Structure 1
Amino acid sequence: MDINKIRLDFPFFAQNSTKKPQIYLDTACQSLRPQVVLDAMNRYYQLEPACGGRSMHHLSAAVSKQVDETRMAAARFFHASRKEEIIFTRNTTEGINIVANSLGLAAGDTVVISGKEHNSNLIPWQMLVRRAGINLKIIPPLPDGTFNIQEFEQFIASGVKLVSLGMTSNLDGVTIPAAEVVKAAHRAGALVLLDAAQAAPHRPIDVRSLDVDFLALSGHKMLGPSGTGILYGKYALLEKLSPFLVGGDTVATSTYDSCEFLPPPEKFEAGLQDYAGIYGLKAAFEYIQKVGFDFIQKQETSLNEFITGEISSLPGLTILGPADPKLRGGIINFTIEGIDSHRIALMLDQMAGVMVRSGQHCVHSWFNDRQIKGSVRASTYFYNTLEEAAVFVENLKKIRKVL
């Protein structure tokens, strides 16, 4: 793949060609979008602006067809057994909340998460601790941020109902051994929910091969529109779950006293869907498949290796996670002793148009446990270049020298 040709597909880079450079190193928060995704969204608003599944006219039929095609595309992308295992959501957070509130967890049931979970995979369980009396157990990461599968197997030995883990950490880019986790959890009689928000954009995921029970992800991190996401669930499990959000489009019929819910996935997709977002999501899946995960991972690794090699020896700088950049994907998250993370991020933006994220990255629990105020996270994707990485490094060194 030619990186320069790839960048031509993204309006963000084209509009910056004659202006002050803008270097986007914040993909772990939200990715840029190629033109094909924008075109797909505009197709809905301009040519097919109707409700799917409600009316009998041809526009409604066109929308219904596109929704079905996107569902099939998602099923193929993640190797689901059938399209009905794909539920459209607004984001990973909603997907996790659907599982948390539909499983029927009760007092005494135990859920296991890790000590590096995004708030999306922490707060829903905390709420169930308070509301339903479940037990929440947190397995700490190893000192370098990696996952200890042996300790995990011991941790879940007694009566765990659900294991819910992030596949790839937005904190340090570490990816857990998901297949081993699922096997160990199933041996212990537990279901498994994986938060794939940071994994799905960067590596192939085969839900059948993993044998995972549920998987949640967001469209906005993988070239898709904001406000889109997917929850995958094994169909036999989805049939048993009680719907969390209910109302329009979730029922086959209703009376003043009762209702009959539709089968999955419709019973989990309450209300009018983000049709433009669903159109765009299909285009995003197709674009990622065209680029290919081999190229994506090769590009991210080369960028991380370069940046790590250039900044790891800076005085007072500590990179979060493993020392080996190959274990951190596209994420370089660091602190500099005595310098506020927000100040570094602002100066990078003001000096060179380099956009990174600063703060606690929605992993407040991890930072507060270690009494760390925040960090600076640069996150790359396949559309970033070594030249952009060099500008980031050069200006970070300037900031470190000045401050």
Structure 2
Amino acid sequence: MTQQSFDVERIRKDFPILTRELPGGRPLVYLDSGNSSQKPTQVIEAMREHMASHYANVGRALHVLGSESTEAYEDARSKIAAFVGAPSRDEVIFTKNASEALNLVAYSFGNPNNTDERFRLGPGDEIVISEMEHHSNIVPWQLLAQRTGATLRWFPVTDEGRLDVGGLDELVNERTKIVSIAHQSNVLGTVNSVSPILARVRQVGALMMLDASQSVPHQPVDVAELGVDFVAFTGHKMLGPSGIGVLWGRRELLDAMPPFLGGGEMIEAVWMDHSTFAPVPHKFEAGTPPIVEAVGLGAAVDYLTSIGMEEIKAHEKRLVTYALDVLQEVPGLTVIGPRTAIARGGTVSFTLEGIHPHDVGQILDDVYGIAVRVGHHCARPLHLRFGIPATTRASLYLYNTTAEIDALVRGLHHVQKVFG
């Protein structure tokens, strides 16, 4: 699908919820995909079909249903590996969300069961994150620092909402063991440049992880091209169901890491006094996995691939360029983050002078049926950095239109009249 042939109205027909009429006859205007995306019929039907005709547990049954279910589950792994350019499908680990994927990696550092030097962590060692992180990429590293006595440090954020890498060489140094940052900010929309940070990480012999929850759904992401060591993302933000996320990691590192959870299917053999473990990816997938969710995520990847990630990225760039322009018409509105579409995604967070974001969101929903997110978006340190308690966030995706952005602007004018 070329940029000229990107047909958003046709795409919208694949999403049943977008035709919903809210109480009072309000049409739904869904601008909250950064929180969780809506699901196309293709995903809904793939999950329904698997539950109706093929469902059984995976990896442990020799009957027909067990074989079909296992094949569908592993086929989803292959699709996701291809989608993100993973060299091997065995490097794709299913988790319940990106938070679990990030915690899985954090658990490996300073773990006495891991003797690999790259994962040794203690007093004097350092972990580096950034001020723009989602709590899921802050709290696991705080807990790791508390467990091990290591020091947590972070990149600051500029007034324009960009990562401040001016002190890169000092911040990432010989004491650094891992750097973990967002590929794209869930508040600012900023897309961070990975290569200069990675070059320094390699120079000092550290590892690097990306939280790609906001980038994988919206732009082409190739983990081999990026060159980092770990990437986490989640299914529910990329047209898939909730309850499933993905950790991609370099095979040699995954092999060196101890299991995160113990239980069925992650073992090779068990005795009463010890166990040996299955190879990756199954070493990290204890218990019955999210089978139907994996099938749904595989269908979501098929859907996104059929449209083309470059085309989706271009559509969202057109939308955010338009949004940044027309939002200037709203008096007292301040965008928190980059004011241009350069190196940024389709997430626009803002404040309205004198009006709390919770009031903004409530009126937009009650009067216009516009769904936005309000609050600190699980990024409270970033809001503290800008001296604000909360923002209103409109997050755009492949099914959004400029008409919906116009509705947002009309709604914001109405909010101001209410509080005028």
Which residue matches 1:83?
A: 89
Deviations 1:164-216 (A, max 9, x none): 00000001100111233222211221100100000101111111111110000
Q: Distance in 2 between matches of 1:314 and 1:14?
A: 28
Which residue matches 1:238?
A: 254
**Residue 49 of structure 2: which of 35, 43, 51 is its match?**
43
Q: Distance in 2 between matches of 1:58 and 1:268?
A: 26
Which residue matches 1:391?
A: 407
SS of 1:325's equivalent in the other structure is coil
**Residue 66 of structure 2: which of 60, 77, 81 is its match?**
60
Which residue matches 1:273?
A: 289
**Residue 382 of structure 1: which of 398, 402, 407 is its match?**
398
Percent sequence identity is: 37
Q: Distance in 2 between matches of 1:300 and 1:17?
A: 26
Which residue matches 1:10?
A: 15
What TM-score do you get using the length of structure 2 for normalisation?
0.93
SS of 1:154's equivalent in the other structure is helix
What is the total number of aligned residue pairs between the two structures?
403
Deviations 1:238-284 (A, max 9, x none): 00001111111110110110001001110100111111100001011
Mapped contact 1:92–1:231 kept (Cα < 8 A): yes
Q: Distance in 2 between matches of 1:15 and 1:356?
A: 16
Structure 1 271/65 Cα, relative in aligned 2: closer, same or farther at 3 Å?
same
The answer to whether structure 1 residue 123 and structure 2 residue 128 are counterparts is no
Deviations 1:5-32 (A, max 9, x none): 1111111123449953000000000001
Which residue matches 1:165?
A: 181
Structure 1 17/337 Cα, relative in aligned 2: closer, same or farther at 3 Å?
closer
**Residue 138 of structure 1: which of 137, 154, 159 is its match?**
154
Shift of 1:356: 0.1
Q: Distance in 1 between matches of 2:103 and 2:184?
A: 19
Q: What is the aligned-residue RMSD (CA, Å)? A: 1.6
Mapped contact 1:52–1:64 kept (Cα < 8 A): yes
Equivalent residue letter for 1:352: Y
The answer to whether structure 1 residue 355 and structure 2 residue 371 are counterparts is yes
SS of 2:176's equivalent in the other structure is coil
Shift of 1:382: 1.1
The answer to whether structure 1 residue 97 and structure 2 residue 103 are counterparts is yes
SS of 2:409's equivalent in the other structure is helix
Deviations 1:308-328 (A, max 9, x none): 212225332210011113443
Shift of 1:154: 3.3
Q: Trace 1:21-32 onto structure 2 (pairs within 5 A).
A: 21-32=27-38
Q: Trace 1:163-202 onto structure 2 (pairs within 5 A).
A: 163-202=179-218
Q: Trace 1:364-379 onto structure 2 (pairs within 5 A).
A: 364-379=380-395
Mapped contact 1:159–1:189 kept (Cα < 8 A): no
Q: Distance in 2 between matches of 1:214 and 1:290?
A: 26
Q: Distance in 2 between matches of 1:314 and 1:23?
A: 19
Which residue matches 1:205?
A: 221
**Residue 336 of structure 1: which of 332, 342, 352 is its match?**
352
SS of 1:303's equivalent in the other structure is helix
Which residue matches 1:292?
A: 308
**Residue 107 of structure 1: which of 108, 112, 122 is its match?**
122
Unaligned runs of 5+ in 2: 1-5, 111-119
Which residue matches 2:113?
A: none
